[in-house]
Amino acid sequence: MSDETRAAAIAALNDSHRASPGAAWTLGRRLYDLGEAFVAKAVAAVVGFDAFTEGDDPYGERDFGAFDLEGQRVMWKIDYYDLDLCGGSPDPANPAVTRRVLTLILAEDY
């Protein structure tokens, strides 16, 4: 698989993961401190995120994003783990051996 094909496969899997908020998403505590409405808006912004730039997404995998919401800088990142969540995935392009976890935090907590 070429690097370009591999990146496209990973990007498609990441897009699918972002479109389905749930148990494989981790939200920073300080997001909750800003209230339920803020959390809902932040999650919706991640689901609809499409402002990928070469600076933030140099490999074309669409695994990171940042945006401003109500005066707060918010960041999200998708990480690739093995099925037991004990280490990195051996192949992030293969969903059979990869568990994705999206982390959503305030940038100031990074």
What gap in Å lies between CA 105 and CA 66, rounded to an integer? Answer: 10
What average pLDDT does the chain have? 96
Residue 110 has pLDDT above 90, yes or no: no
Q: Kindly report, residue by residue over 4-31, the tens digit of the pLDDT.
A: 899 999 999 999 999 999 989 999 999 9
For residues 53-82, one letter each, b for 16 or more C-beta atoms within 10 angstroms of the residue's C-beta and e for the rest, the string is: eeeebeeebbbbbebeeeeeebbbebbbbe
Q: What is the pLDDT of residues 63-73, one digit of tens each?
A: 999 999 999 99
Domain ranges of the chain: 3-109
Name the pTM for this structure: 0.94
Q: Which two tokens stand for residue 108?
A: 């100031």
